Amino acid sequence: MTADNMKKAAALEALKLVKPGMKLGLGTGSTANFFIEALAAKVKKGLDVKCVPTSKATRDLAEKLGIPLTTLDAHPHLDLTIDGTDEFDADFNLIKGGGGALLLEKIVASSSAYMAVIADESKKVKTLGKFPLPVEVIPFGIKATAWKIERAFKFLKMESKMTLRVKDGKPFRTDGGHAIIDCALGEIKEPQRLDNLLNSIPGVVDTGLFAGICGIVFVGTPKGVKEFKRKK
Ligand code: 5RP
């Protein structure tokens, strides 16, 4: 079974959470795209939902497929967000932002009554940190901000290797016009503490750490989709 088959199977399972009339957050990335395609098929058959996209790419795809869109300003409280992830652990902590949409993804997910994550089994880890942590920063004064980020890692006694994300030979820019520093950390033992500390640095817009936000993970495996649900 390919990773794509597992992602698709997880996406189809998550679709079962969607009920008529819901306001949904739509995630970003290849796994989220499988969900968006499956949702579009239901919309074509008459399902009534309104969706807030978490990136320009997701907006473009949803629009192309005829999914009704809305904004967080019109609907500040969403029922459900469905998104992919780069990593998840047994405590439902996530690292997101491999696709660069972490800021909008976090705003939308944290404005939702429930966040469902869809993933193939390669995304499951014992401890977060195999995937470099994306930290979104304001381009102004980026070296000074990077120095403070490094100092925060040292304060927490974490080894770090920081790389400015580059695309097509130029510094990558998010939909919000920010830069991303990818931080290879090895192991993140206290995700919430690290997130709080990094977010206290002027110039840091947000991090790809999602702690205490995700409620359920659907994981595609060769033996079918496994469901992990957080206890309230
Ligand atoms: C984008 C994300 C994605 O959800 C994450 O990178 C996973 O992507 P994919 O489903 O393509 O593996 O956080 O910012």
For the segment 11-35, what is each residue's pLDDT rounded down to a tens digit?
999 999 999 999 999 999 999 999 9
Sorting pLDDT into bands at 50, 70 and 90, what band is 148? very high
Measured between alpha carbons, how far is residue 184 from residues 26, 112, 128, 129, 191 in Å? Answer: 27, 29, 11, 7, 14
Which tens digits make up the pLDDT trace of 183-198? 999 999 999 999 999 9
Pocket test for ligand 1, best of 6, 31, 133, 210 (most atoms within 8 A of CB): 31
105 is catalytic: yes
User: What is the chain's length?
Assistant: 232
Q: What would the mean pLDDT of 91-116 be, rounded to a whole number?
A: 98
CA of 91 to the centre of ligand 1 (A): 19
What is the rounded average pLDDT of the residues 32-57? 98
- What pLDDT does residue 39 have? 98
Residues 65 and 160 in one domain: no
Residue 232 has pLDDT above 80, yes or no: no
Mean pLDDT (the chain, rounded): 97
Cα of 118 vs centre of ligand 1, distance in Å, is: 10
d(CA 134, CA 116): 21
Q: Ligand 1 pocket, 102 CB below 6 A?
A: yes
Predicted confidence band of residue 181 (pLDDT cuts 50, 70, 90): very high
| Confidence at residue 184, expressed as pLDDT on a 0 to 100 scale | 98
d(CA 3, CA 17): 22
Regarding whether 221 and 175 lie in a shared domain, the answer is no
Q: Are residues 173 and 117 in the same domain?
A: no
Report which protein residue has its CA nearest ligand 1's atom 6: 98
Is ligand 1 within 6 A of the CB of residue 3?
Answer: no
Q: Does 128 fall in a domain?
A: no
Q: From the CB of 220, is ligand 1 less than 6 Å away?
A: no
Percentages of the chain per state (helix, strand, coil), in multiples of 5: 30, 25, 40
Coil vs helix vs strand at 109: helix
Residue 188 to residue 89: CA distance in whole angstroms: 11
User: Can you tell me the distance from the alpha carbon of 124 to that of 88, in angstroms, rounded to the nearest whole number?
Assistant: 5
187/219 same-domain check: no
Q: Whole-angstrom Cα distance, residue 76 to residue 197?
A: 27
Q: What is the pLDDT of residue 1?
A: 86
Q: Does 78 have pLDDT greater than 90?
A: yes
- Does residue 83 sit in the same domain as residue 34? yes
Structural domain including 194 reads 133-206
Is 9 in the same domain as 117?
yes
pLDDT of residue 56: 98
Q: Evaluate whether 96 touches 105 at the Cβ level (below 8 Å).
A: yes
pLDDT at 110: 98
- β 161-164/115-120 pair status: unpaired
Structure tokens at 131: 């995937």
Alpha carbon nearest to ligand 1 atom 5, residue: 85
Number of neighbours of residue 196 by Cβ within 10 angstroms = 13
Paired residues of 171 in beta bridges:
166
Contact 185, 129 (CB under 8 A): yes
CATH of the domain at 28: 3.40.50.1360
39 lies in the same domain as 152? no
Q: Quick one: average pLDDT of 46-70?
A: 98
**Cα 166 to ligand 1 centre (Å):** 17
Index of the ligand 1 atom closest to the CA of residue 119 = 10
Measured CA to CA, the distance from residue 232 to residue 225 in angstroms comes to: 22
User: Are residues 109 and 186 both part of a single domain?
Assistant: no
Instruction: Judge if 88 and 143 occupy the same domain.
Output: no
Q: Are 184 and 84 in contact (CB under 8 A)?
A: no
78 DSSP β-pair partners? 112
Select which of 105, 121, 159, 227 is catalytic. Answer: 105
Ligand 1 geometric centre to CA of 40 (Å): 20
Q: What total of structural domains would you count in the chain?
A: 2
